[in-house]
Amino acid sequence: MERQDEQGPRGGVTPHITIRDRKAAEAIEFYKKAFGAEEQMRHPTDDGRLMHAHLKINGGSLMLHDDFPEHMGGPSQPAASFVLHLQVPDADAAWKRALDAGAEVRFELADQFWGDRYGQVKDPYGFIWSIGAPVKQGQQQQAQEPAATTA
């Protein structure tokens, strides 16, 4: 097999997730629609499962594969215990894209006390994604102004 120039991530921490129920190829298409993923490579097996895939999302890498219970001591566990975060220039646009692709709201997108517009969605494969961006200047001023009262 010929080595590709961009075999995988060059550093940092890269999530490598297991997609259950033979849906890794489907998940790749979802991540393209929901988060603008760019597929770097995929290695299918003879039985149609994906042994390995590498995506670029928002400048970072995500690796994934189908479940291989025969090599892992049983079926993989459901997704839990971590959140995949996307820091983006426009949280509202990223949020809409994810929801339009079929993600479900887990934590509503809103301006947060730390200065980001932030929310969380759950993808169809059980993984939690957070989306954040700095609150836009106009939004910050509106949030800080007291509500007008009528007499």
Helix axes of 24-35 and 91-101: crossing angle, nearest 10 degrees: 140
pLDDT at 76: 87
> What's domain 16-67+78-139's superfamily in CATH?
2,3-Dihydroxybiphenyl 1,2-Dioxygenase, domain 1 (3.10.180.10)
Q: Two tokens at 137?
A: 């200047």
For residue 43, give the amino acid letter.
Answer: H
> Does the pLDDT of residue 29 top 60, yes or no?
yes
At a CB cut-off of 8 Å and minimum separation 6, what does 24 contact?
Answer: 49, 50, 53, 64, 65, 66
Please write the tens of the pLDDT for every residue from 54-105: 999 999 999 999 999 998 888 888 887 899 999 999 999 999 999 999 999 9
If pLDDT is split at 50, 70 and 90, which confidence band does 12 have? Answer: confident
Compute the chain's Rg from CA coordinates. Answer: 19
Q: Are 70 and 23 in contact (CB under 8 A)?
A: no
With a CB cutoff of 8 Å and minimum separation 6, the contacts of 41 are: 4, 6, 7, 52, 53, 54
Percent of the chain's residues with pLDDT above 90: 74
Give mean pLDDT, residues 29-57: 97
Cα distances (Å, whole numbers) of residue 35 to 68, 78, 106:
26, 21, 16
Quick one: pLDDT band at residue 1, thresholds 50, 70, 90?
very low
